[in-house]
Amino acid sequence: MLPRPMRIAQITQEAIRVKTFTLAGELVADPGQFVMVWLPRVDEKPFSLVSDDPLTLTVAKVGPFSARLHELKVGDRLWIRGPLGRGFNIAGQRPLLVGGGYGVAPLAFLASRATEVSHKVAVVGAATKDDLFFEARLAASGCEVVVVTEDCSAGEGGLCTDVAEALLTEQHFDGVYACGPEAMLDKAEELCRQHGIPGQLSKEAHMRCGMGVCGSCQRDGLLVCRDGPVFDLEPETSQSASQS
């Protein structure tokens, strides 16, 4: 699969370190799938889709590659390979979406696709209010949005999994859909086990090829790029794991 060039049609500053790039092109993809973004003579890295038409990516500036992406202007080109990997698939009618950091990006795509689902709750977590983004986008897709910040500067204080835990205790949900840092996903997995409900967790790993060839994203015998990044957590597995 060769990278194809796409021009940047629009750039939106979402938060202090986060920009959204709307490209002049489209793909056919599922929420949770990702693309490899290549900048010639720089590097190639994975980014989740926020929309497939127009192709939209949201990038947090965390290191050298994302900093180079943040320097790009409208009209500049970047090169895309994808869509790649396995995405989310909403199975029930009462999903709980839990996103931390840029993990909110694929969940916004998921919410926008789940138009037939009437009761969607999205917990959006960030370190501070300046790191929050996509609350309005999720609300526009019909989600009841709960904002959580670690420093209590907006919404509820604490971790998004603390709020998810309280919601799972107070209300009935038939699935958890989560994307974010590893510790957050570990907690989300534990909550699914405790409540006996299925989960779909989007995991991270350092990727090179993005298509199951190089093995650099192997975790527990699975390739995150090919077998994931979204992994199912079934309630049967959850219950038997919690009993053992």
Ligand X SMILES: Cc1cc2nc3c(=O)[nH]c(=O)nc-3n(C[C@H](O)[C@H](O)[C@H](O)COP(=O)(O)OP(=O)(O)OC[C@H]3O[C@@H](n4cnc5c(N)ncnc54)[C@H](O)[C@@H]3O)c2cc1C
Cα separation, 121 vs 135, whole angstroms:
11
- 109 contacts ligand X (rule: CB under 6 A): no
Out of 107, 184, 229, 231, the only residue in the binding site for ligand X (CB under 6 A) is 229
- Contact yes or no for 94/172 (Cβ under 8 A): yes
The total of other beta-carbon atoms located within 10 Å of residue 23's CB is: 22
- 45 contacts ligand X (rule: CB under 6 A): yes
CB of 237 to ligand X, least distance (A): 22
- 79 contacts ligand X (rule: CB under 6 A): no
Instruction: Please report, as residue ranges, which positions from 85 to 104 form the binding site for ligand X (by CB under 6 A).
Output: 102
- 42 contacts ligand X (rule: CB under 6 A): no
Of 86, 83, 84, 106, the closest CA to residue 177 belongs to 106
Sign of CA dihedral 20, 21, 24, 28: negative
Q: Applying CB under 6 A, which part among 54-62, 92-100, 111-119, 131-139 lies near ligand X?
A: 54-62
* Position with the least CB separation from ligand X: 63
CB environment 208-242: b (16+ within 10 A), e (fewer): ebbbeeeeebeeeeebbbbbbbbbebebeebeeee
Residue at 10: amino acid letter: Q
Out of 5, 40, 64, 92, the only residue in the binding site for ligand X (CB under 6 A) is 64
- 59 contacts ligand X (rule: CB under 6 A): yes
**Which spans of this chain sit near ligand X (rule: CB under 6 A)?**
34, 45-48, 58-60, 62-66, 102, 105, 204-207, 229
